[in-house]
Structure 1
Amino acid sequence: MDYGTLRGLVALLIFALFIIIVLWSYSNKRSAAFEDIANSIFEEDELSKKIKQSHLDTNNNQETNNV
C-alpha cells in the first residue's frame, strides 16, 4: 500500500464520519433534545432572578436616598 492509497482511505474515513455525524444530528430522535438546548438560553434560572431582584432593590434604595 503506497502513501496515496493510505491518504485516500483516511479521506474516505473522515468523509464517512462527517456523514454519520450529520445524519445523527439531524435525526428525529435528537430534534427534541436540540430544541430544548437551543431554547434553554431564554429560560431564567433562580440565580439570575436573584441578581435582577438585588439590582432592582439597589436602584430603589438609591432613588429613595436621593429624594
Structure 2
Amino acid sequence: MDQSIVGSIFTVIVFVSFIGIVWWAFSSRNKSKFDEAANLPFADEDNNESKKD
C-alpha cells in the first residue's frame, strides 16, 4: 500500500463522516432538541429578570 492509496482511503472516510454529521444535524428527529437548545440563553434571561424584582 503506497501513500496515494492511504490518502484516498482517508479522504473517503472523512467524506462519509462529514455526510453522516450533516445528515444527523438536519434530521427532523433532532429538530425539537436543537430548538430547545437554541432557546436556552433566553430561558436564563427570564430567570435573571424574576430575581431582580
Tell whether the structures are fold-level matches, with TM greater than 0.5. yes
How much has 1:41 moved relative to structure 2?
Answer: 1.4
CA distance in 2, matches of 1:10, 1:28: 29
Structure with the larger RCO, 1 or 2 (CA within 8 Å, 6+ apart): 2
Give the % identical residues.
Answer: 28
Structure 2 letter corresponding to 1:40: L
Structure 2 letter corresponding to 1:14: V
After TM superposition, the runs of 4+ consecutive aligned structure 1 residues lying more than 3 A away are: none
CA distance in 1, matches of 2:31, 2:18: 18
Q: Counterpart of 1:64?
A: none
Structure 2 letter corresponding to 1:24: W
Report the TM-score when normalising by structure 1. 0.67
Q: Counterpart of 1:32?
A: 32
1:22 aligned onto 2:32: no
Structure 2 letter corresponding to 1:3: Q
CA distance in 2, matches of 1:28, 1:11: 28
How much has 1:39 moved relative to structure 2?
Answer: 1.4
Structure 2: gaps (5+ residues): none
Report the TM-score when normalising by structure 2. 0.82
- Please report the RMSD computed on the Cα atoms of aligned residues, expressed in angstroms: 1.4
Aligned length: 50
Q: Counterpart of 1:4?
A: 4
